[in-house]
Amino acid sequence: MNPLLDNFHTPFETAPFDLIIPEHYMPAIQEAIEKAKLEIEEIKRAPIPTFENTIIALDQSGERLNIISSIFFNLNSAETNDQIQALAREISPLLTAHSNDVLLNEALFANIQLVYEQKEKLTLTEEQKTLLDKTYKGFVRNGAKLDEPQKQRLREIDKELSQLGLKFGENVLAETNKYELVISNESDLSGLPDAIIEAAAQTAEEKGKPGKWVFSLAYPSYIPFMMYSENRELRKELFIASSTKSCKGDELDNQQHIKDMLRLKNERANLLGYPRFSDFVLEERMAKSAPKVMDFLHNLLEKAKPKAQAEIKELENFASEIDGLDKIEKWDFSFYSEKLKKQKYEVSDELLRPYFKLENVIEGVFLTSEKLFGIHFIENNDIPKYHPEVTTYEVVDSDGNHVAVFYADFFPRAGKRNGAWMTSFRGQKTVKGKEFRPHVSIVCNFTKPTKTKPSLLTFNEVTTLFHEFGHALHGMLAKGTYESLTGTSVFWDFVELPSQIFENWSYEKECLDLFAKHYETSEFISSELIQKIKNASNFQQGYQTVRQISFGLLDMAYHGTYPATITDVFSFEKEILQPTSLLPDVEGTLMSTSFSHIFQGGYAAGYYSYKWAEVLDADAFELFLEKGIFDRETATAFKEFILSAGGREHPAILYKRFRGRDPKPDALLKRAGLV
């Protein structure tokens, strides 16, 4: 029996990772597609289409296929290999074709349209109205009203896009994995903290290079090297390796993939009646339109750029003063920034690391969630894992009722892409009175433990953990009927609110007192050090804001431009980033070819969402600051109207229910020191 097709006889019906082998995926996907097709045929045969037999039935169809594909593609990001990647290239077109078979089915759409046209006469809840609107729009926005030749072309486009996205990600991962900076001379380690040196020695041993030190492009290796290495030439080498991923004209180059994807996305938008891809995307976002996004980004840039320029000038003066450097290059920025921050605020990552042992920080996010939302995390080793490093938990409420399953996967490895993300193996829904609770995972790339030290996080890694855990709470606390509207199934420029607001707790003494203690002495972090963290929180905020805006502008330029005008990716990126450029360009470097958020992930025409949601999170957290960061009444309202509500109503309505008014940008500008 293929374990993917059987009922999961595991705790909480979790994925039976211990039984699944790669050979199971293709036959399971094929059989699940056939089952889903039969379910669609059943819906089409309804003599009189109703909300129940058409809209609800469609929302509940394809359940087994959704679960299998979630398992497979989550592993393709977190624990992949050549076999899984090869399967992905075969499976992705099958799923795309099946999705199009559903969305382009004339008889099915006719039934949906009949129900939709009767919506004013139906007695529906707000959640049901949202489901009906989302279902109808989903079909229209994916070609249901096209003629047959147009539908055929849309199918071809979607198939090509699915394959190009996979190839883009594979190339970036391969580039990340193949590069090594091997150091043989101990003097070249000057400036690096002992823990980073020990980790590099451990990596060298694992790679069969004892007596040497190996650094990579994985974040826990790359970032500390750029921040602390006193060897400027090696910093330059590592920077260029990181900044030239997939743009060197070899078999891992992504430049043509970018141009092909942009051309296909734009053609797809044109088929559906939109001038540009960004017009198609933003129709279903809070921002609504490209001009509104651009106004938002440029208004922020106007406030942030003068501060950013002053910060760069301050850094240049500092570097000149201590090292006689006449010009700051991009590979110097982190190095001198860390030194300047330490001088100005008497705080540094290495000073803070001992207080942020990973296990303690995990306990901290658990306790914070408990105090806010009354949930508890119980480690459960009976839940199967896809890798030995994964930790599994049952989540329960204050009465002991089951809430969710939570997977945590924290360390870099060859089969995992860079970065940090939240995902789910099963969403939350209610079917015929039975509630299915979610299975949620966060995947990160944090500093690994060594032979002599546990995993000690930088403060940035601490905020990353809080960020991803905020997404996880959005998934775990979901409370709705229809899976397509629960958890993180919300507008893309709203989905970052739960994650970004949760970061705020990691700066507050009342929260840090729960978990920030020295890993050797168990001494809790001092009030003075916490104040230094807060004082330093605005350090180079102008620069960081401009940097985020630059990514948003580049994304909008790619997806709001006619692709035929992009003949050279290098020159296009340089032109778009020029208004946000603060440091000298480095010839031959290119960030677009590894910009996975917009070319592999779901942030195309949506990267602005991070800054957009910052307005929401700063405004929302201001209420917690007024009432108390652990005020249960405020937390309960946030849980009810934001975390549990999912996408049952428009996010602007949900936010107003929580805050009592529309968001104001004042709190963000104040927090970032821009006013």
Q: Are residues 40 and 126 in the same domain?
A: yes
What pLDDT, in 10s, does the model give residues 209-266? 999 999 999 999 999 999 999 999 999 999 999 999 999 999 999 999 999 999 999 9
Mean pLDDT of the region 352-373 = 98
Question: Does residue 296 sit within a domain?
Answer: no
Q: How far apart are CA 88 and CA 198, in angstroms?
A: 36
What pLDDT, in 10s, does the model give residues 145-179? 999 999 999 999 999 999 999 999 999 999 999 99
Question: Does residue 610 sit within a domain?
Answer: no
The pTM of the full predicted model, rounded to 2 decimals, is 0.95
Nearest alpha carbon to residue 288 among 608, 666, 597, 583: 608
Output the pLDDT for position 314. 98
- Where in the sequence is the domain holding 199, given as residue range(s)? 179-243
Question: Does residue 189 sit within a domain?
Answer: yes
Q: Are residues 15 and 125 in the same domain?
A: yes
Q: Are residues 29 and 83 in the same domain?
A: yes
Element (H, E) at 215: strand 213-215
- Per cent of the chain over pLDDT 90 is 98
What pLDDT, in 10s, does the model give residues 279-329? 999 999 999 999 999 999 999 999 999 999 999 999 999 999 999 998 999
Mean pLDDT of the region 92-98 = 97
Mean pLDDT of the region 416-434 = 96
Q: Are residues 47 and 131 in the same domain?
A: yes
What pLDDT, in 10s, does the model give residues 543-560? 999 999 999 999 999 999
Q: Are residues 125 and 201 in the same domain?
A: no
Q: Are residues 135 and 217 in the same domain?
A: no
Question: Does residue 595 sit within a domain?
Answer: no
Question: Does residue 599 sit within a domain?
Answer: no
Identify the band that residue 129 occupies on the pLDDT scale cut at 50, 70 and 90: very high
Residue 338: phi and psi, rounded to 5, are -65, -40
Which one of 224, 243, 262 terminates a domain? 243
CB 328 within 8 A of CB 336: yes
Question: Does residue 454 sit within a domain?
Answer: no
pLDDT at position 601 over 90: no
Mean pLDDT of the region 93-116 = 97
Output the pLDDT for position 79. 97
Mean pLDDT of the region 375-381 = 98
Residue that is written with structure tokens 């507050």 in the block: 508
Q: How far is CA 64 from CA 8, 29, 486, 573, 630, in A?
A: 11, 9, 18, 42, 40
Q: Are residues 188 and 135 in the same domain?
A: no
Which string of DSSP letters, residue by residue, matches 428-478?
Answer: -EEETTEEE--EEEEE--PPPP-SSS--B--HHHHHHHHHHHHHHHHHHT-
Output the pLDDT for position 283. 96
Q: How many CB atoms are closer than 10 A to CB 82?
A: 9
Output the pLDDT for position 673. 87
Which one of 243, 269, 289 terminates a domain? 243
Q: How many CB atoms are closer than 10 A to CB 521?
A: 8
pLDDT at position 455 over 90: yes
Which one of 222, 243, 264 terminates a domain? 243
Identify the band that residue 99 occupies on the pLDDT scale cut at 50, 70 and 90: very high
CB 222 within 8 A of CB 214: no
Output the pLDDT for position 162. 96
Average pLDDT value for the chain = 97
pLDDT at position 30 over 90: yes
Question: Does residue 252 sit within a domain?
Answer: no
Q: Are residues 185 and 126 in the same domain?
A: no
Q: How far apart are CA 575 and CA 554, in angstroms?
A: 10
Q: How far is CA 228 from CA 175, 195, 231, 614, in A?
A: 24, 12, 9, 30
Out of 170, 175, 350, 468, the active site residue is: 468
What pLDDT, in 10s, does the model give residues 332-354? 999 999 999 999 999 999 999 99
Instruction: Tabulate helix, strand, coil % of the chain (nearest 5).
Output: 60, 5, 35
Identify the band that residue 368 occupies on the pLDDT scale cut at 50, 70 and 90: very high
Output the pLDDT for position 674. 86
Q: Are residues 140 and 26 in the same domain?
A: yes
Output the pLDDT for position 532. 96
What pLDDT, in 10s, does the model give residues 176-208? 999 999 999 999 999 999 999 999 999 999 999
Mean pLDDT of the region 566-581 = 97
The number of distinct structural domains making up the chain is: 2
pLDDT at position 675 over 90: no
Q: Are residues 21 and 101 in the same domain?
A: yes
Expressed in angstroms, the distance from the first to the final Cα of the chain is 64
The identity of residue 568, as a single letter, is D
Question: Does residue 347 sit within a domain?
Answer: no
Identify the band that residue 522 occupies on the pLDDT scale cut at 50, 70 and 90: very high
Q: Are residues 109 and 192 in the same domain?
A: no
Q: Are residues 121 and 215 in the same domain?
A: no
Mean pLDDT of the region 360-375 = 98
468 tagged catalytic: yes
